[in-house]
Amino acid sequence: MSKKNLFIGSLAYSTTDESLAEFFAQIGEVESAKVMTDRDTGRSRGFGFVTFVNEEDNQKAVEQLDGKELDGRAINVNEARPREERPRRDFTGGSNSGGRSNDRGSNGGGSFRQRSW
């Protein structure tokens, strides 16, 4: 069974994986600390996850660090919810595209309406 993560919200954009791990190390040994970043820009999304080596440290971290300041911002510390399984989206536009035809000849394609002046 996988270890439980802590969800860390309201992170400053300047917070790094290393500074997050360092901050949570005051509670116990940190197995991993990850600040989530935007795929396109690489900028922090303002939240991250921390996993302790010893799961008993999770509750201590929630009690002691929730609302504390890290890099100039009061952070939220909660136990992370399990990730929801979502069906993969199909962007192929084939026969499983919600009843829409893949024929683009009728009005020039997509939702763009051709005008005739």
Determine the Cα–Cα distance for residues 29 and 25; give it in Å rounded to an integer: 6
Phi and psi (nearest 5°) for 18? -65, -45
Structure confidence at residue 7 (pLDDT): 98
Q: Is residue 13 part of a domain?
A: yes
* Mean per-residue pLDDT, 43-63: 97
CATH number for the domain including 27? 3.30.70.330
Grade residue 102 by pLDDT with cuts at 50, 70 and 90.
Answer: low
> Per the structure, how many domains does the chain have?
1
Q: Is residue 45 part of a domain?
A: yes
pLDDT of residue 113 exceeding 70, the answer is no
Residues spanned by the domain of 12? 6-78
Structure confidence at residue 85 (pLDDT): 84
Q: Is residue 69 part of a domain?
A: yes
Grade residue 3 by pLDDT with cuts at 50, 70 and 90.
Answer: confident
pTM of the model: 0.72
